[in-house]
């Protein structure tokens, strides 16, 4: 019975998680942040090397500095063939004013990994998924952020993270925005993608 309850709880957590792009300024308790980070630290990693590094940013001034660095980086980025429509739209909005790729979230978690590792993205993705699920079951809204990864080699963004302690041999792999929200979607979008091929 206990195993069935646990299985149901895990599957419900996966199915009920939503991406949120509107956050309140209310702080997230340290105990919940620690629980979320611990979920990430319990994720699998290639050969159990555990090389992912989590940077948890809740300092308001640092988040404002990061927002400024990202906007300056976007304004300095030239359009290139192959850029996605969403990224081109982001460049346009940054040039016309200011964008906040963290949606005002009070907590950011940025994952890094060794540049030399072929498993960097996989390791960090597993950790980020664990943290999103842990956040959701604690009623903490969350969303994956792509832009820090996309701009990881931009000098402005790189210098900001270097000042936080990101080493020269580390690279940004993925990030989360976390916080309370009064705008969490309740119904899942239809699952029309994720094709499945079964070979028996």
Domains identified in the chain and CATH numbers: 24-179 (3.40.109.10)
Q: What stretch of H or E contains 138? A: none
Q: Point out which residues pair with 55 in neighbouring strands.
A: 110
SS3 content of the chain, % helix, strand, coil (to 5): 45, 15, 40
Distance between terminal CA atoms of the chain?
Answer: 31
What string of H, E and C letters represents the secondary structure of 24-65? CCCCCCHHHHHHHHHHHHCCCCHHHCCCCEEEEECCHHHHHH
What mean pLDDT is predicted for residues 73-98? 91
* Cα–Cα distance list, 95 to 32, 76, 124, 183 (Å): 37, 9, 31, 28
Question: Where does the pLDDT of residue 1 fall: very low under 50, low under 70, confident under 90, or very high at 90 and above?
Answer: low
pLDDT of residue 3: 84
User: What whole-number distance in Å separates Cα of residue 153 and Cα of residue 168?
Assistant: 11
Q: What stretch of H or E contains 73? A: helix 60-76
103: left (phi over 0), alpha (psi -120 to 50) or beta: left
Q: Give strand ranges (E) for 49-199.
A: 53-57, 107-114, 141-145, 170-179
| Residues above pLDDT 90, as percent of the chain | 80
Q: Look up the pTM and report it.
A: 0.93
Taken in order 67, 70, 75, 80, is the CA torsion positive or negative?
negative
pLDDT of residue 160: 97
Q: Each residue of 131-157: pLDDT tens digit? A: 999 999 999 999 999 999 999 999 999
Q: By the 8 A CB rule, do 134 and 36 touch?
A: yes
Question: Where does the pLDDT of residue 162 fall: very low under 50, low under 70, confident under 90, or very high at 90 and above?
Answer: very high
User: What whole-number distance in Å separates Cα of residue 101 and Cα of residue 119?
Assistant: 26
Cβ contacts of 69 within 8 Å, gap of 6 or more: 156, 157, 159, 160
User: What whole-number distance in Å separates Cα of residue 138 and Cα of residue 161?
Assistant: 28
């Amino acid at each position: 019975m206990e195993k069935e309850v646990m299985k149901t709880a895990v599957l419900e957590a996966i199915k009920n998680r939503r991406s949120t792009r509107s956050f309140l300024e209310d702080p997230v308790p340290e105990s919940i942040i620690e629980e979320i980070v611990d979920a990430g630290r319990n994720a699998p990693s290639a050969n159990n090397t555990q090389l992912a590094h989590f940077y948890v940013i809740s300092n308001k001034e640092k988040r404002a500095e990061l927002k400024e660095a990202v906007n300056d980086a976007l304004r300095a980025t030239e359009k290139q063939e192959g850029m996605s429509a969403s990224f081109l739209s982001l460049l346009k909005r940054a040039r016309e004013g200011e964008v906040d790729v963290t949606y005002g979230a009070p907590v950011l978690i940025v994952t890094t990994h060794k540049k030399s590792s072929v498993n960097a993205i996989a390791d960090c993705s597993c950790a980020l998924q664990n943290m999103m699920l842990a956040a959701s079951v604690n009623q903490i809204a969350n969303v994956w952020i792509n832009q820090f990864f996309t701009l990881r080699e931009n000098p402005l963004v790189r210098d900001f993270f270097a000042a936080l302690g990101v080493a020269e041999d580390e690279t940004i792999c993925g990030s989360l925005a976390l916080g309370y929200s009064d705008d969490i979607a309740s119904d899942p979008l239809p699952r029309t993608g994720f094709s499945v091929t079964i070979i028996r």
